[in-house]
Amino acid sequence: MKVTFYKYHGTGNDFIILDDYNSAAPVLTSKQVMQLCNRHFSIGADGLMLLSKREGYDFEMKYYNSDGNQSTMCGNGGRCLVKFAYQMGMHKSSFRFYAIDGEHEAEIDIDGTISLKMQDVAKVEYHSGHAILNTGSPHFVKFASDVRDIDVVATGRDIRYSNTFAADGINVNFVETIDEDSIFVRTYERGVEDETLSCGTGVTASALLAAHNDKGFNTVEVRTKGGNLSVEFDKVDDEHFEDIWLCGPAEFVFKGEIEIG
Write the CATH number of the domain with boundaries 2-107+250-259: 3.10.310.10
Per-residue confidence band for 237, with pLDDT thresholds at 50, 70 and 90? very high
Instruction: Check residue 107 and give its pLDDT.
Output: 98
Per annotation, catalytic residue among 37, 80, 199, 247: 199
Per-residue confidence band for 142, with pLDDT thresholds at 50, 70 and 90? very high
Q: Give the Cβ contact number of residue 39 at 10 Å.
A: 12
Beta bridge partner(s), residue 19: 51
Q: Is the pLDDT of residue 35 over 90?
A: yes
Q: For all residues of the chain together, what is the average pLDDT?
A: 97
Q: Is the pLDDT of residue 261 over 90?
A: no
**To the nearest whole percent, how much of the chain has pLDDT over 70?**
100
The pTM of the full predicted model, rounded to 2 decimals, is 0.96
Per annotation, catalytic residue among 37, 74, 80, 247: 74
Instruction: Check residue 122 and give its pLDDT.
Output: 97
Q: At what angle do helices 75-87 and 200-209 cross, to 10 degrees?
A: 130
Average pLDDT over residues 158-185: 97
Q: pLDDT tens digits for 93-125?
A: 999 999 999 999 999 999 999 999 999 999 999
Q: pLDDT tens digits for 175-230?
A: 999 999 999 999 999 999 999 999 999 999 999 999 999 999 999 999 999 999 99
- Closest among 183, 158, 191, 169 to 77, alpha carbons compared: 191
Amino acid at 3: V
Query: Residue 101: exposed, middle, or buried by beta-carbon count in 10 A (0-12, 13-18, 19+)?
Result: middle
Q: pLDDT tens digits for 38-71?
A: 999 999 999 999 999 999 999 999 999 999 999 9
**Domain 124-248 is of which CATH architecture?**
Roll (3.10)
To the query of whether residue 199 is one of the catalytic residues in this protein, the response is yes
Beta bridge partner(s), residue 20: 52
Domain(s) of CATH 3.10.310.10: residues in the chain: 2-107+250-259, 124-248
